[in-house]
Amino acid sequence: MAKRKRIIGIAKAIKKGVGSGRGYNYIPWIKIQDVSSKGRSSMIKAIKTGRQHELLSDMERDYFYILDYSDKVKDIREQFPLLPLEDTELISKELGIEHLR
């Protein structure tokens, strides 16, 4: 079970600045406390951005390390929202898969 309930509308989240910013000022769309999991999550301070990143799996963590040490990467934004929602709904419809809620 999630550690805290975070049920707010997309418009309200956008207004609060969630999913926006760059570098140190980026605010992830989803935080570790927002989702329940039986897996492992990680909170790691990045060399590149200087902020704590919230990673929801070992695979995200491993990829994060590759990005953080790469000279070609300028910024890392985890849990980035794919908006507008209508675009992702159209893509899922075209692919014949159910859109996540």
Domains annotated on the chain, with CATH: 10-95 (3.40.1350.10)
Give the pLDDT confidence score for residue 6 in this predicted structure.
Answer: 55
Residue 28 neighbours by CB distance under 10 Å = 21
The pLDDT tens digits along the chain (101 residues) read 455 555 568 888 888 888 899 999 999 988 888 888 788 899 999 999 999 999 999 999 999 999 999 999 999 999 988 888 889 999 999 999 998 77
Residue in the block written with tokens 């809620």: 101
Give the pLDDT confidence score for residue 78 in this predicted structure.
Answer: 93
pTM for the structure as a whole = 0.74
Q: Give the type of residue at 87.
A: D
Give the integer Cα–Cα distance in Å for 27 and 17.
Answer: 7
CA–centroid distance for 91 within its chain: 20
The two three-digit tokens of residue 31, written as one number: 């935080």
Give the pLDDT confidence score for residue 24 in this predicted structure.
Answer: 95
